[in-house]
Amino acid sequence: ETGVTQSPTHLIKTRGQQVTLRCSSQSGHNTVSWYQQALGQGPQFIFQYYREEENGRGNFPPRFSGLQFPNYSSELNVNALELDDSALYLCASSRTGALDTQYFGPGTRLTVL
Amino acid sequence: GQQLNQSPQSMFIQEGEDVSMNCTSSSIFNTWLWYKQDPGEGPVLLIALYKAGELTSNGRLTAQFGITRKDSFLNISASIPSDVGIYFCAGQTGANNLFFGTGTRLTVIP
């Protein structure tokens, strides 16, 4: 158990809809990173939030957006869902933002029909 | 983004055997990380490497940061059934950019 929790566990949406995924970071961690893991692939970095500000972004379109709250929990929002957005979405928290000391949550499995 | 290729893609080994897997890239990385992912869970960090040529062990696991900084290797000695899972390498360039490999799926036959 890493102390990082994500909700919901599974989600089914249809193309064009919007979705919000949630992540609670481990106690004492102020940085959250989000990753997309397609079936059979490694995770891909979406973006990172540090002290409520976006602190780096991977190669994802603007319809992927996020928030971080004062308690350091975070949300990932995806608008205008596409079939290719079907994936496991992982969040990871760390104390300093250093990616080599981050802990991953179990992920949210999103299916877009 | 950077492409990290892992080989082999999958392995079937007998319990007690040693395992070797590697990760190569066309790009140079400052840090190499090795993770294990079990079904229904997020990746768990096994070993972190910070310097070219560095060799680091964690129990039965040993990993090396390649001299060219474009590759890394992970060895598991005397495999046991709980070693089953998917192993990912990941390379870090800037402060918050982590690129994962394609994964090696390990099956251990008791």
User: Which residue from A2, A99, A103 is facing B96, i.e. has the nearest CB?
Assistant: A99
> What's the pLDDT score for residue A89?
98
> What's the pLDDT score for residue A45?
93
What is the percent of chain B with per-residue pLDDT over 90, rounded to a whole number? 87
Would you call B31 an interface residue with chain A, using a CB distance cutoff of 8 Å?
A: yes
> What's the pLDDT score for residue B44?
95
C-alpha span between B49 and A45 (Å, rounded): 20
Q: Which chain B residues are Cβ-neighbours of A3 within 8 angstroms?
A: none
For residue A49, the chain B residue with the least C-alpha distance is B96
| A27 Cα to chain B: minimum distance (Å) | 18
> What's the pLDDT score for residue A109?
97
Question: Which of A45, A46, A49 to probe by mutation at the B interface, max B CB count within 10 Å?
Answer: A45
User: Which residue from A44, A59, A107 is facing B42, i.e. has the nearest CB?
Assistant: A107
Q: How confident is the model at residue B86 (pLDDT cuts 50, 70, 90)?
A: very high
Residue B2 pLDDT exceeds 90: no
Please compute the mean of the pLDDT values over residues B86-100 and round it to a whole number.
88
Please compute the mean of the pLDDT values over residues B1-26 and round it to a whole number.
93
Question: Which of A100, A102, A108 to probe by mutation at the B interface, max B CB count within 10 Å?
Answer: A100
Residue A1 pLDDT exceeds 70: no
Instruction: Give the model confidence (pLDDT) of A50-88 as tens digits.
Output: 989 998 899 999 999 999 999 999 999 999 999 999 999
Please compute the mean of the pLDDT values over residues B48-60 and round it to a whole number.
95
Task: Give the three-class secondary structure for B63.
Answer: strand
Calculate the average pLDDT of chain B: 94
User: Which residue from B43, B45, B94 is facing A43, i.e. has the nearest CB?
Assistant: B43
Is residue A86 within a helix (H) or strand (E), and if so which, with residue range? Answer: none
Instruction: Give the model confidence (pLDDT) of A10-51 as tens digits.
Output: 999 999 999 999 999 988 889 999 999 999 999 999 999 998
Instruction: Give the model confidence (pLDDT) of A89-105 as tens digits.
Output: 999 999 877 777 889 99
Q: How confident is the model at residue B37 (pLDDT cuts 50, 70, 90)?
A: very high
Q: Which chain B residues are Cβ-neighbours of A33 within 8 angstroms?
A: 96, 98
Contact present, B82 and B33 (Cβ < 8 Å): no
Q: How confident is the model at residue B18 (pLDDT cuts 50, 70, 90)?
A: very high
| B63 Cα to chain A: minimum distance (Å) | 15
For residue A32, the chain B residue with the least C-alpha distance is B96
C-alpha span between A56 and B96 (Å, rounded): 6
C-alpha span between A104 and A82 (Å, rounded): 25
CA distances (Å), origin A40, targets A9, A66, A112, B14, B104: 19, 25, 17, 24, 10
Please provide residue A43's backbone torsions phi and psi, each rounded to the nearest 5 degrees: -60, 145
Across the A/B interface, how many CB contacts are shorter than 8 Å? 65
